[in-house]
Amino acid sequence: MRRLNNYLQQHFEQVFVLVILITVAVINYYIPQKIAFINFYFLPVITAGYLLGSRGSVMGAVLCILLVTIYAILYPRSFTMPSTTEDLSIHIMAWGGFLILAGAVVGKQQESLNAEIQHARQLNDQLIESYENIRDARVATILGLAKLAEHRDQATGAHLERIREYVKIIAIELSRHPKYQSYITNQYIEDIYQSSILHDIGKV
């Protein structure tokens, strides 16, 4: 039972389309009052819109219209409005049932969409975390190399920090100038701030 449940959850769209096709065949061949089931055709159109996009949905709608039109020409009495209370009851029950089914289908599609969005957000968070880890490793490498120069000359260490701050101030000021603001971004400023500490690495 669990296997069947998992299969239905993983292949909901395909199973639903198959059920729709079988139901259309049953309605068209075995049910005399076809007008009561006219709203059923919203279901394949909604499903096609979710699975195939607007073009597939429109093509599905045109196919349904052609199918109903052909049957209306062949069997016009099947598409007349109900004349008795019994026929009217069947018509209302069928309409209500398909209304519930349409809500269930759209709801299921919305849940699938939300799940995909949530998965995309998780992947984005992982990507950001990986980027931050790489950035931290790069900064640590730069600082490690800079400390080599500081180790040889204690005065150089303070000089490196001063230069780094000067570079940042100059970059920020240049980013406000119309000539440079197109490419001196915040990331550019951060990169040059971190990298400028290596300007005396040749002393090593």
By 3-state DSSP, what share of the chain in percent is helix, strand and coil, each rounded to 5? 90, 0, 10
pLDDT digits (tens, 9 = 90+) for 73-112: 877 776 666 667 776 677 667 666 766 766 676 677 777 7
Nearest to 146 by CA among 160, 126, 132: 160
pTM metric for this prediction: 0.45
What is the distance between the alpha carbons of residues 144 and 189, in angstroms, rounded to a whole number?
Answer: 20
pLDDT digits (tens, 9 = 90+) for 9-64: 666 666 666 666 677 667 666 666 666 667 777 777 777 676 666 776 677 677 77
Q: Which of helix, strand or coil describes residue 136?
A: helix
pLDDT top residue among 170 and 107: 170
Give the closest residue to 45 by CA, choosing from 14, 17, 79: 17
Amino acid type, 7: Y
